[in-house]
Amino acid sequence: MPKEFHSLIPLDLARSIVLQHLPAARAASVPLSRASGCILAEKIVSSIDVPGFSRASMDGFAVLAEDTIEAREDRAVSLRLAGRVAMGRTPEISISSGEAAEVSTGSMIPAGADAVVMIEHSQAQGDIVLVRRPVYASENIQAAGSDISFGETALYPGTLLQPREIGVLAALGCKEVPVRMLKVGVASTGNELAPPGEPLAAGRIYDINTYTIAAAVADCGARPLYYGILPDEKQAMRQALQKMAGECDFILVSGSTSAGAGDMIYQVLEEMGDLIFHGINLKPGKPTLFGLISGRPCLGLPGYPTSALTVFSCLAAPAIRAALGGRHQGKSAAGRLAGSVRTEGRRQMLAVGLSGELVYPVDKGSGSITTLAGADGIIDIPAGVEFLEAGTPVAVDLFAEREPDPATLLLAGENSILLEKLAEGRPGWLRIINAGPIQARIYLEEGVADLACICGPDPKWDGAQVIWSGEMEMGLVFRDHAVLCGALRPGRPAPGGLASGLLS
C-alpha cells in the first residue's frame, strides 16, 4: 500500500543527521598514480633535498663569478673551456679561476663554479669561451635543497591532492601515499534501467545516476564502488544492500525512494535496519530517505537525475568531505539573476547556468538529463520566497571543482543542423543553451547569451545585429497523404487534434 509523506523534515536537520552518522575515514596507502583527488592522511616530511644537488637553471657555461666582473658586450672576457658536464652524470672536472665548463639546464654544477653564464651571453671558440656579460655568485644556479630541504614538512594532513601536490610527492620520491579512505557504494534501482552499452528494450532507459553520483563521489575525494542496478524485488534488494553494508563505509542508492506501491527502499530499510527519516521539505528531493543497514549509513536519493545530483550536493557531499577531514569545501561563484524567477514558496535548489556574472535557470524538470548537462550548479532559494527579481545577488554552488570558462561563447537557440555544425567546427569555444525563439531572444536581450539562433518568419528585432541568415524548408509529416489532404481543407476539423484551416 502506498505510503504518505505525513512529515517532511527541514533540509538543515537532514544534513545534520547525515553528518552525525557518517564514520570518520580511515588511513590507507595508495600508489602515487592513484592518489590524485584523495585527501592526505599524514604530513609528508622530506627525506631528501630537492634538488639533491646544485644544478644549472640555464644552458650556458659554469664559471667563477669573479672572473666575469670585467666582461662587456664589446670587451669579452676569455676563459679556458675545461670540459662539458653531461646530464644525469657527476662532473669529472672541477673549475679553477680562468676556466669554464659547458652545462645544460638541469645538469650538476662542477666543483669550484659558483655561477652560470647564459649561452646567449657567451660564445665558444675551440677551447676558449668568450663571456660578454658579468654574472653574480649563484646566478642561474638552483642550489641543493633550495626547493625542499631535508627534514622540511612538504605537505600537511587534510590536503586535497591535485596535480601540484602530486608533483611535490613525485619530487620527494613517494611511491605510496597515505590518504584518507572512504569507500562509498553507489547503486541505482529499477527494472526499467539498463547498463550503458546494452540494447534498449521497449520501456527501458539507460542508468544515469550510478555514473553521475559515482563521479561526484570521486570529486569529493572518496572512492566510489560501483554496484550497478538493483532489481525491484525485495529479497534481491535486501541481499544487495547487505553486501554493500559489508564492503562500504557509506551507501548511496537512487530511485525507489518515493511512496508509491512499487517503491520499496524504505520498506527494506524498515525491515532490515533503521529508517531515520523519509521525506525532506525540499524541491527537488522530497522523497529522500536516510537510515542504517548493519550500522552503515544509507542515503536514498530520488530517481530523477537532476534531483539525485542536487540532493547529493546538499546532503552527501558535505558529509563525505567532513568524514575525510579535508579543509576544502565545494566551490561557489557569486552572480546575479539575469531574469526573474518564480518558485512554489518551499525551499528549492534551482539548477542554473553561469554566463559571466549572470545566472539563468536551466531547469527542464527533474527527469531531464539535459538539465544536468546545461547546469553549472544550483542556487538555494529559502522557504517562503515565491519571487526573485532580475538582478538579485545569488551564490551558485558549483557542481564541478572548476568554474565555467568565461571565454566560452553562449549561443541560445533550438537544436538545428546549423548549431551542430558550429559546435563541431570549433570544439570547446561554444556552449549551446537549448531555447525556443522567444526565450532565445530574451536570453540575448538579458545579456545571458552572446548569440541567438532564431528560426522564424522575421528574426530581426531592435537592438540586435544579424550576423548570418538563410532560408529553411519546413513541412508536415503525416502517415497517410490522403488523410492529410482531406484534413487541411478549410473548415474541416483534422484528425488527432490538427487545427482546422492550418493551411489555406
Confidence of residue 500 (pLDDT cuts 50, 70, 90): very low
**Interior/surface letters 272-299, b for 16+ CB within 10 angstroms, e for the rest:** bbebbbbbbbbbbbbbbbbbbbeebbbb
Same domain flag for 279 and 358: no
The per-residue pLDDT for 12 is 94
User: In this prediction, what percent of the chain has a pLDDT beyond 70?
Assistant: 85
Asked whether the predicted pLDDT for residue 169 surpasses 80, the reply is: yes
Cell (9 digits) for 250? 557509506
Contact 25, 323 (CB under 8 A): yes
The per-residue pLDDT for 498 is 39
Same domain flag for 193 and 310: yes
Q: Is 5 a member of any domain?
A: no
pLDDT (mean) for 117-134: 96
Asked whether the predicted pLDDT for residue 291 surpasses 80, the reply is: yes
Same domain flag for 241 and 297: yes
Cell (9 digits) for 417? 543542423
**Secondary element (H or E) of residue 413:** strand 409-413
Cell (9 digits) for 322? 567532513
The per-residue pLDDT for 501 is 33
CATH of the domain at 73: 2.170.190.11
Same domain flag for 157 and 122: no
Q: Which domain holds residue 488?
A: 474-504
The per-residue pLDDT for 239 is 94
Cell (9 digits) for 101? 665548463
Boundary of a domain, candidates 324, 343, 368: 324
The per-residue pLDDT for 368 is 64
Asked whether the predicted pLDDT for residue 3 surpasses 70, the reply is: no
The per-residue pLDDT for 364 is 62
pLDDT higher at 179 or 489:
179
Mean pLDDT estimate for the chain = 86
Same domain flag for 67 and 120: yes
Confidence of residue 504 (pLDDT cuts 50, 70, 90): very low
pLDDT (mean) for 282-295: 92
Question: CA–CA separation, 486 vs 494, rounded Å?
Answer: 8
pLDDT tens digit sequence for 207-236? 999 999 999 999 888 999 999 999 888 899
Q: Is the bond leading into 382 cis (omega within 30 degrees of zero)?
A: no
pLDDT (mean) for 156-182: 95
Q: Is 148 a member of any domain?
A: no
Same domain flag for 160 and 233: no
Which residues have CB under 8 Å from 425's CB, separation 6+? none
Same domain flag for 36 and 59: no
Which residues have CB under 8 Å from 481's CB, separation 6+? none
Same domain flag for 237 and 281: yes
Q: Is 376 a member of any domain?
A: yes
Asked whether the predicted pLDDT for residue 394 surpasses 90, the reply is: yes
Same domain flag for 196 and 99: no
pLDDT tens digit sequence for 433-451? 778 888 888 888 888 888 8
Confidence of residue 403 (pLDDT cuts 50, 70, 90): low
pLDDT (mean) for 459-470: 71
Same domain flag for 375 and 424: no
Q: Is 402 a member of any domain?
A: no
**Secondary element (H or E) of residue 125:** strand 122-125
Q: Is 209 a member of any domain?
A: yes
Confidence of residue 6 (pLDDT cuts 50, 70, 90): low
Asked whether the predicted pLDDT for residue 153 surpasses 90, the reply is: yes
Domain count, the chain: 6
pLDDT higher at 384 or 458:
384
Q: Is 344 a member of any domain?
A: yes
Confidence of residue 493 (pLDDT cuts 50, 70, 90): low
pLDDT (mean) for 169-196: 96
Asked whether the predicted pLDDT for residue 464 surpasses 80, the reply is: no
Question: CA–CA separation, 284 vs 384, rounded Å?
Answer: 16
Q: Give the closest residue to 418 by CA, choosing from 450, 451, 372, 463.
A: 451
The per-residue pLDDT for 241 is 94
pLDDT (mean) for 282-308: 93
pLDDT (mean) for 140-152: 95
Cell (9 digits) for 317? 557531499
pLDDT (mean) for 457-478: 70
Same domain flag for 293 and 223: yes
Asked whether the predicted pLDDT for residue 349 surpasses 50, the reply is: yes
Question: CA–CA separation, 338 vs 83, rounded Å?
Answer: 68
Cell (9 digits) for 187? 547503486
Q: What is the 3-state secondary structure (H, E, C) of 264-309?
A: CHHHHHHHHCEEEEECECCECCCCCEEEEECCEEEEEECCCHHHHH
Q: Is 320 a member of any domain?
A: yes
Same domain flag for 214 and 274: yes
Q: Is 389 a member of any domain?
A: yes
Asked whether the predicted pLDDT for residue 328 surpasses 60, the reply is: no
